Amino acid sequence: MLRGFYTAAAGMLAEQRRVEMLTNNIANANTPGYKADEAALRSFPELLLSRMNETNVPTKESRTLLNSTVIGPINTGVYMQELIPNFLQGDIKETGQPTDIALVDGTVPIDAETGTKGALFFVVQNGNGDIRYTRNGNFTLDAQGYLTTNEGFYVLDENNRRIRLNSADFTVAPDGTITENNVRIARLNIAFAANPNTVVKEGNGLFRSENGPLPSALGNPNVTYELKQRFLERSNVDIARSMTEMLSAYRAFEANQKILQAYDRSMDKAVNEIGRLK
């Protein structure tokens, strides 16, 4: 009976984490460039149970031998293995702000090993020089004139240098070239992740690469994209689908909860009623 306790509890924990993931997706439905998470649920490996026994051997020194009796297999339930960002392109909306830049995917090759489509990112840098990646093109100009994210990360050019402008009166070409007063200032660097599963979310729309810096998409003949100034990429969260999945997760949680309560009542009766002397 205790097996059922563990299985039902594992199901409740998995659904609770799934609800937390869906809640976070819905909360970021209006965050520019946000990529919705998807849950990968897996079952625990099946285990083979055995009972250890002792057999006394009637010898002069009274030896004891250990042996085991096979009870049978047990599946210990389900768990959430990982959260996988969905890098599907979000809708593009016009904002009219010159510092807003949308990264629009063109031709992005599919990784031969994983069968997943690659992903493109803006390249940004924090004050310590750490490189991060983002799809949120809601940029701004800081007090020194550097193009930054709203969190203060510097947007980098093709040479991984910070971009400094004199005012918000600049133009971004579809290939990322920035001009101000008809003078070329820089070209936005766009990173390419052949396998997007190698980048990890850090919060605030930022990603980090676990396998070293991502290569640039500039000059890659297999990758095409377009940058649109005064536009933003919206979140790719599907509100209707997320709400439906959340209701499903709630129902699955409640079902496991009822199973757990039924086991609890059975255990209570076994302990307090069965075998009672009257």
How close are the terminal C-alpha atoms of the chain, in Å? 26
Tokens of 255: 């079902």
d(CA 155, CA 217): 16
List the domain boundaries for the chain.
2-46+77-82+238-271, 92-233
Mean pLDDT of 81-102: 91
Closest CA to 148 of 127, 124, 121, 174: 124
DSSP 248-260: HHHHHHHHHHHHH
- The domain made up of 2-46+77-82+238-271 has a fold known as Helix Hairpins (1.10.287)
pLDDT score of 277 more than 60: no
Give the global pTM: 0.79
Lowest mean pLDDT, pick from 44-48, 121-125, 189-193: 44-48
Condensed to tens digits (0 to 9), the pLDDT of residues 49-68 reads 677 776 776 666 666 667 77
Task: Give how far Cα 77 sits from Cα of 19, 40, 42, 74, 255, Å.
Answer: 18, 14, 9, 9, 14
Least confident stretch, 72-76, 158-162, 262-266: 72-76
Average of per-residue pLDDT values in the chain: 87
